[in-house]
Amino acid sequence: MSDDPQLVTRLLQEWSNGRKEALDELMPQVYQQLRKLASRCLRDERAGHTLRATALVNEAYLRLVDANVGWQNRVHFFAIAARLLRRILVDHAKASNSRKRGGGIERIPLDEGVMIGPVASAELVELDEALKTLAEHDQRKSEVVELLFFGGLTYDETAAALNISSATVHRELTMAKAWLHRELARRPA
């Protein structure tokens, strides 16, 4: 499918205005980009991670369908999608940590098509906690990291989503990376 930003924006606005068919037209337009975002999110996960890009996109889709958002444009859509993907990965890691400790065991039938492994990504949970702490101190720096790294947005797209310049995105990212490095280094191993 084409990656026509105007078409995507028009379909998002029609969907926001209540035309349910617009969602059916929108998904083929954005699926490949969502899949790329999901693959990017999973790229840094440990070897053998059993949550796959397709399952991640499907879960994000289910959450997006239920979202009550006044979509502004394509960049806004992918910014929200990036946050959802991050949230899904963190929830997956937390659930896996819980299973490792024996709590909250839930049977999942094979026909659901998602196999969830017992090993969690503790680093992802730590990064999520550090980003939440950063957001308490400086929300914009946290959003820049989230959009660039979890969302796969470019500097220009991140700048547009946050209504700042690309140079400001670069400065905020530099400061956020330094802050996160210091924060993660002082947490107990």
Flag residues of the chain having pLDDT under 50: 1, 101-102, 104-120
CB 169 within 8 A of CB 159: yes
d(CA 67, CA 74): 15
At residue 116, the pLDDT reads 32
Name residue 131's amino acid: L
Nearest to 160 by CA among 85, 76, 81, 82: 76
Quote the pLDDT of residue 48.
59
pTM above 0.85, yes or no: no
Which of 135, 143, 136, 130 lies closest to 184, judged by CA? 130
Are 166 and 159 in contact by the 8 Å Cβ rule? The answer is: yes
Q: What's the pLDDT score for residue 138? A: 93
For residues 74 and 5, the answer to whether their CB atoms sit within 8 Å is yes
The pLDDT tens digits of the residues spanning 27-75 come to 888 888 888 888 877 776 665 556 788 888 888 888 888 778 888 888 8
